[in-house]
Chain A
Amino acid sequence: MATGATSIWATARLVAAKDLRVERRSRVVVNQVLPFAALVMVLFAFALDADAVLERTAPGLVWLGTIFSLLIVVQRSFAIETADGALDALRVAGVSPPGIFLGKSIALAVQLFVLEVLLVLLAIVLYESELDAAGAVLLVTTLVPATTGLAFVGTLYGGLAAGTRGRETLLPLLLFPVVAPVLIGATRATEAALGAGGAATDEGWPWVGMLVIFAALFGVGGTLAFGPLVEE
C-alpha cells in the first residue's frame, strides 16, 4: 500500500470509523465506562466528605477520573484488535501502522471527550463547581489538547502492551507516569476555568500551551514508534 500522506489519513479515517462503529454497536463505553466514571466521582465525594474540599479539588478529581477511565478505554480499544487476531489481519493487509495509530487515537479521543464532558457536568452538579463564559472558553480549549495527548499516549502504550501476557497489570505502570504532565497541566487549567481555590481564569492559559506541546510531541513520537512496536 502507498505510504503517502493521503493514504495515511484515509487509513486513519477508516480505522477511526471502524472503532466508533464497534462502540456504537457494542456500547461498552456508554454502558460500562461512563457509569464507572460517574461512580468514581461519587466515591471521591464519600472519601473527601466536606463540600468545601470537593469544590476546591473538583478539577483534580475530574482529571483523575479521566485517567482511571482512560486505562479501561485503552484496554477495550486493544481488546477488540487482539481478539480475533484483528491487528495481525490489518498488518497482513498492509495497512500502514501510522494510519492505524492515528485512527485509533482519533476514536479514543472522541470517546474520552464525551467522558470528560460528563465528568465536568458531574463536578458542577455534585461538587458545586461553577463555570462562567470565560471559564467555558478556557475549559473547552483545555479539553482539546489534553484529550488529544491522552489519546496519543493511550494508543501508543496500549499498542505496546497489546498481545502480551500480563498486559492488564503492565499498562498502568507504563501509562500513568507518562500522563502525569497532562494531569498536572489539565488540572491547573481546569482550576482556573472553574475558579477553584480562587484561581483567576487567565492563569490557565500557560498550561494549555504545555498541553499542546505534550500532544504534539507524543503525536509525532507515536506516529514514528507505532510501526516498530506492532510489527513482530
Chain B
Amino acid sequence: MASSSASGSTATNSSTTGRTRGAGTGTTFTRWLGIVTIALMAAVVLFGLVLSPADVVQGESVRILYVHVGTVWVAYLAFIVTAVSSGAYLWRRTHSLTWDRIAGASAEIGVLFMAVTLLTGSLWGRLSWGTFWVWDARVTTTAFLFITYVGYLAVRGLGGSHEQRARRSAVVALLAVIEIPLVHFSVKLWRSVHQDASVAGRTTDVTLDGLMLFTLVLATVAFTLLYVWYVLHRQRVMAMEDALDDKGLDLALAERRREAQDATSTTGEVTN
C-alpha cells in the first residue's frame, strides 16, 4: 500500500508491472504457514484415503467425515471470529476498519466452509441414514447459519462508505449471535415435541479407532491452518481494495492529466 501511494514520480509501463509483481499479500509468515498447510493437507489425504481403516459399520463412507468435521469446526470458528471482531469494531474507540475486514474475510471463508460442510454432510447422510436431509436441530441450525451469513455478505455488498459498510455489517453480525441460538432452541423444541429420537444415533465419537482419531485431529488442524492462511490473505486483499477505492480515482485523474500534458506539450520539451 505504501509503495503504491508514493509512486507519483515515474509512471512508465515497465515500473508499474514491476510493482504489481512485488506487492502481493504474502509475508514470510504467511508463506511458511502456506507451506505447512499444504503439507498437512497432503498428509490428511494420505491418512484419510489410504492409511486409516474403513469403519466397521459405516464402511468407506466414514472418510467423508474427516472433511466434514474439519470444515464444520472451521465454519463455526469463522463465525465466532466474525462476531468478536464485529464487536471489537463497534466498541473500540478507534473504529479500526481492520476489525471490519477481519470480520468480512472470516465470514467469507466461513460461508465457503459451511457450504462444504452441508454438501459433505448430506452426502454422508445419504450413505448412512439413507436420506440427504434430516430436520435435526443441529443440521437445521447449521443451514440457518449458512443462510444468515450469506445475508451478512449481501449486507457488506450494499455499497456506501467503508464506515457505513463496517457499522451496518457489524450490527448484522451481532444480531446473528442472538438469532442462531434462538433458531437452534426452537428447532430443538419443535423436533422433541413432534418426532421421536430417530436420528439421535449420531455416534461418530463413541469408539474411534486410534488411527481414525488421529486422522480426524490432523484434518481439523489442517483445516484450521487453511482458514488462518485464507483469512490473512483475504483481509489484506480487502485492505487493498479499500485503498484502491479511496485513492484509485485520484491516481487515475493524475495519470490522465499527465497524459494530457504530454500530448499538448511539443516534443522539444523533454527536459522535465
Binding site for B on A (CB under 8 A): 156, 160, 164-166, 170, 173-174, 177-178, 180-181, 184-185, 188, 203, 206-207, 210, 213-214, 217-218, 221, 225, 228-229, 232
Q: Given that A177-B148, A178-B175, A217-B178 are known contacts, is A210 also in contact with B185, CB under 8 Å in the complex?
A: yes
- Give the A-binding residues of B (Cβ under 8 A): 90, 144, 147-148, 150-151, 154-155, 158-160, 164, 167-168, 170-172, 174-175, 178-179, 182-183, 185-187, 189-190, 193
Q: How far is the CB of B82 from chain A (nearest CB, A)?
A: 16
A-B contact pairs, 28 of them (CB 8 A): A160-B171, A160-B172, A165-B158, A166-B158, A170-B158, A174-B154, A177-B148, A178-B179, A180-B183, A180-B186, A181-B182, A181-B183, A184-B186, A184-B190, A206-B189, A210-B185, A210-B186, A214-B182, A217-B182, A221-B175, A221-B178, A225-B175, A228-B90, A228-B167, A229-B167, A229-B168, A229-B171, A232-B164
Which residues on the B side are within 8 Å of A229 (C-beta)?
167-168, 171
When the two chains form their complex, are residues A174 and B171 in contact, meaning their CB atoms are under 8 A apart?
no
Q: List A contacts of B164 (CB < 8 A).
A: 232
Tell me the complex Cα distance, A185–B188, Å: 11
The verdict on A160 contacting B168 (CB below 8 Å), with A177-B148, A181-B185, A232-B160 known, is: yes
Add 20 more A-B contacts to A164-B159, A188-B193 (CB < 8 A): A164-B160, A165-B158, A170-B151, A170-B154, A173-B150, A174-B151, A174-B154, A177-B144, A177-B183, A181-B183, A184-B187, A217-B178, A217-B182, A218-B178, A221-B178, A225-B171, A228-B167, A228-B171, A229-B167, A229-B168
CA distance A180 to B151 in the complex (A): 15
Choice from A164, A170, A188, A217 contacting B190 with Cβ under 8 Å: A188
B110: min CB distance to chain A, Å = 15
Please indicate the chain A residues that have their CB under 8 angstroms from the CB of B147 in the complex.
173, 177
Across-interface contacts of A185 in B (CB, < 8 A): 186, 189
CA distance A160 to B119 in the complex (A): 31
Interface contact tally, CB-CB below 8 A = 73
Contact B158 A173 (CB under 8 A): no
In the bound complex, CA of A178 to CA of B168 (Å): 16
| In the bound complex, CA of A156 to CA of B178 (Å) | 13
Mostly, the A contact residues are: helix
> Smallest Cβ distance from B103 to chain A, in angstroms?
15
Whether B186 contacts A160 by the Cβ 8 Å rule is no
Report chain B residues within 8 Å CB of A207.
Answer: 189
A164 and B158 in contact, given A177-B148, A180-B183, A184-B187 (Cβ under 8 angstroms): yes
Closest to B152 in A: A174
- Closest chain A residue to B167, Cβ basis: A228
Closest-by-CB residue of A relative to B187 is A184
CA distance A197 to B155 in the complex (A): 40
User: In whole angstroms, how far apart are the Cα atoms of A207 and B168 in the complex?
Assistant: 32
Q: How far is the CB of A203 from chain B (nearest CB, A)?
A: 7
C-alpha spacing A218/B171, complex, angstroms? 13
**Nearest A residue (CB) for B170:** A228
Residue of B151, B167, B172, B183 ringed by the most chain A CB atoms within 10 A: B151
Cross-chain contact B144 with A180 (CB below 8 angstroms): yes
Q: Which residues of B contact A156 (CB under 8 A)?
A: 175
- Given A178-B179, A217-B182, A218-B178, A170:B155 Cβ within 8 A: yes
Task: Find chain B residues with CB under 8 A from A165 CB.
Answer: 158-159
Say yes or no: B151 contacts A177, CB within 8 Å: yes
CB distance from A193 to the nearest CB of B (A): 15
Chain A positions within 8 Å of B159 at CB level: 164-165
CB distance from B169 to the nearest CB of A (A): 10
Considering the chains assembled together, what is the distance between the CA atoms of A85 and B167 in angstroms? 21
Q: Which residue of A lies closest to B177 (CB)?
A: A221
Residues of chain A within 8 A (CB-CB) of B170 are: 228
Complex interface: chain B residues within 8 A of A210 (CB): 185-186, 189
B59 to chain A, nearest CB (A): 35
A residues less than 8 Å from B158 (CB atoms): 164-166, 170
Tell me the nearest residue of chain B to A226, going by C-beta: B171
